[in-house]
A and B are shown apart, each in its own frame.
Chain A
Amino acid sequence: MTRIRPTTSSSTIMAPLLTALLFTATPQAAAQAAAPAKPSAAWTATERAARGQTVNFYMWGGSDNINRYVDTVVAPAARKLGVTVRRVPVTDTAQAVNKVLGEKRAGKVRGGSVDLIWINGENFRTAQQAGLLKTGWAESLPNARYVNWKSPAIRTDFGFPVNGSESPWGSAQWQYVYDSARVSPSELPRSFAALAAWAQRHPGRFTFPAPPNFYGNRFLRQAMFELGGGPQAFAGPFREATWQRASPKLWSYLDGLRPNLWRGGRTFPADLPQLYTLFANGEVDFAFVQNIGGVAAEVQRGLLPKTARVYLFDAGTVSDTHFVAIPFNAAHAAGAQVLANLLLRPDLQLAKLSGDTWGDGLGIDPGRVGPAFSAQVKAALKVGPYTLDPALLARRSFSDVDATYDRRVQDGFRAWLK
């Protein structure tokens, strides 16, 4: 049903993590990482405690590809370590956060029902504010040595310091999906101004999920960046003046676009699956995707037609990291740590990258694993009709901005609808 794909962002200029580093792996870094580090006594104890535990992994369940990856790749690997993964699908990460919040309210400080959450930036902020997360564990995971903790995209999440309370899982970048059977590459709109002009020529053939949906928010923020002078203008902490200058441009842009939207802009799809249905049924010509692997997985699963293609706007798009976190009262914290560590294991990260399963970007830095791994990464990201060149993605990426802008866009959209 309603689906918000957990993704996060950092407030600082983001190093286009996976891809830029992908081809610049230095032999020294590889040599350092190649020697398997001896696990610390503390970690051995954690692994021993985790044996026999069932980890309740709360995650957005709106994508078959992702669910399948967890069930067929992650769960069997965890079983070898004596940990059972119980995937608990939620339609919105806030549901998992609400559950932990409810337990805190009820005074349940241990034995909580949520062990690991696939969390997004907004919910991370919320959970931090209410003191719902275990802190200081992520950087001591053995596989954390593959993570580039110096990268601003990993140090902060939505402008909030991560402080070892989240472990990265993967990365994503916003891309546009079009149907090559209906739109020829030469007439593709590559800016928001061009999009409005295209929609005027093809009324009813474009729409976006309505905020508060995650995808709708991100789409509108992309528009705001372009109309408000580029993402650099929004970098750093939230500034009221910036918002006051940029937001009227966004609303007047939407005013112009609205009559040419699907159903005249009187209603919007509630979430991404609904938008994909409209797209696949030929009601609209555009959709969005965040996977680094583009729409390869979606086309393979028959969710999107074979004629679906991905492309970028000229000004670039937002890319960011997504994380997992452990609630303060998790009943199986040891198992959750073992699972978080497993999610960072290079072979599992590689399996996730392929469009055959999920197409999600790496959470680790291939340069820290070794040149052989970097080569595998390059091979896994088959550039083709459904996947863009990672080098192009990296060149055209920028990071998201302070979470307050997201909040203002949500509230502003509600007001604009009337």
Chain B
Amino acid sequence: MAEVDRSGGTGRRALMVAPALLVTAGLFGGGLILTVLQSVGVDPVLGGQEVNFAAYRTLMADPAVRASLLLTLGVATLSTGLSAALGTALALLLRRAGRARLRFLAGLTLPVPHVLAATLVLLTLSQSGLLSRVTAALGLTRGPQDFPALLFDPLGVGVVLELVWKETPFVALLVLAALTRLDGRLHDVARSLGAGRAARFRQVTWPAIRPALLTACVLVFAFALGTVEVPLLLGATSPTTLSVLAYQAFTDTDLGRRPLAMALSTVLAALGALLLWSYVRTGPSR
């Protein structure tokens, strides 16, 4: 990026990315603008012309929304933190093992859609799921009622489990790519200078993987923030995440609830933007 051709190349480059930018700005930006407009009650088809903030006032007054916001942020933070830690550990292990076949296996869950992954979690971990049947067959539990209630819980344990299962290999893959670029001789130098294991990780490995890890975290967090299908399948009916609340309001048969759905979506988009902003501000400079 640093070596931009100054002799008019920037203009040509801008022209070259223009089609992609137009599509992004048109589809995404247009959708965003419509969402914000509808959230403030501007919707000519439904007879709304005047700007009002009733939907936002309703959101602020609703304790269910507050509980939902806490749950959403909690689930996103926890699943990001866990997948970051596990993903990094997995990447370090894979680098040491170094076998291509192992790396392939580790990446196997990446193309699995989240809906499918959530269903698998449901079939495995529910109180009458596969694991519960195994423990019952082994005589460890007497039936579904003895198996720990991991899913549909108010703390979102099931949702976090699914996200960690899906995102850990994703984080591992990004970190592994950074590790592969790391010159192995740096470790030798560090060792020769008397650095122990922890010091080598801190001084050599960590700076090398930090940018990739941060990028991975932002992506995982953003996904966890917006996912609908996972909390819908594995979460409790109440409290539920902001995205599910937005979905419920959007599919409500009362058209009067559309602004509420759009306001919730706007809040989610704002959270995402905040995340992006802080990433650009504090993130790795190139």
| Interface of A toward B, CB cutoff 8 Å | 1-2, 92, 94-95, 97-98, 101, 104-105, 122-123, 125-126, 129-130, 204, 210, 212, 263, 266-270, 277-278, 281-283, 407, 414, 417-418
Contact = CB atoms under 8 A, between A and B. Distances in A.
A414 B126 CA distance: 25
Nearest to B123: A277
Given A105-B43, A267-B153, A278-B128, 8 more contacts: A94-B251, A98-B250, A210-B238, A263-B149, A282-B144, A283-B127, A283-B144, A418-B238
30 contacts: A1-B229, A2-B232, A94-B252, A101-B45, A105-B43, A105-B44, A123-B253, A125-B253, A126-B253, A126-B255, A129-B255, A130-B45, A210-B238, A263-B149, A266-B153, A266-B236, A267-B154, A267-B238, A268-B237, A269-B237, A270-B232, A281-B126, A281-B144, A282-B128, A282-B144, A283-B128, A283-B144, A414-B64, A418-B63, A418-B238
Contact of B238 (A98, A126, A130, A417): A417
Interface string B122-145: 000011100000000000000111
Bin the interface of chain B by size.
Answer: 20 to 34
Nearest to A90: B251
A75 to B, nearest CB: 26
A76 B267 CA distance: 48
A233 to B, nearest CB: 24
A92 B251 CA distance: 7
Interface of B: 43-46, 63-64, 115, 126-128, 143-145, 149, 152-154, 229, 232-233, 236-238, 248, 250-255
B253 A267 contact: no
Contacts of B64: 414, 417-418
Nearest to B119: A1
A113 B252 CA distance: 21
A402 to B, nearest CB: 14
A414 B252 CA distance: 13
Contacts of A282: 128, 143-144
A95 B251 contact: yes
Contacts of A414: 64, 238
The 6 tightest CB contacts between A and B, nearest first, are: A281-B128, A122-B253, A94-B251, A267-B236, A210-B237, A267-B152
Given A123-B253, A125-B253, A267 B237 contact: yes
A34 B37 CA distance: 57
Contacts of B253: 94, 97, 122-123, 125-126
